[in-house]
Amino acid sequence: MLNPIVLETPATCGDLATATSTVKVGGLAVSKVDIDSAGDTIVGPGSSPFGVFVEGVSMSLTGDSIIGHGDGAHSNPTFASPLPNAMSVRIGP
């Protein structure tokens, strides 16, 4: 199951997601691909393969890639899981 990434969701490198959306899940703003970041820009693929968009842009989902921005865990970060206290919303198959 793929879940939306929201404000302050940690990436595998430990950096926290930003979120500029006015759309919220569990009271937290949804992060968008190519707009928001977690150490660097979230590149997705996000929700576009499922035809789901937030403010005209693909929302970030678990499994999304983030541009590498350093060594070690920062070289190829992703979003492994949503925030545990954020409401879960099923996106995709």
pLDDT tens, 40-72?
A: 999 999 999 989 999 999 999 999 999 999 999
Q: Quote the pTM value.
A: 0.89
Q: Which pLDDT score is estimated for 62?
A: 92
How long, in residues, is the chain?
93
How far apart are the two ends of the chain, measured CA to CA in Å? 7
Q: Which pLDDT score is estimated for 90?
A: 67
Closest by Cα among 40, 30, 38, 36 to 2:
30
Most confident listed range (2-6, 68-72, 80-84, 87-91): 68-72
Q: Which pLDDT score is estimated for 85?
A: 67
Query: Could you tell me the pLDDT band of residue 92, with boundaries at 50, 70 and 90?
Result: low
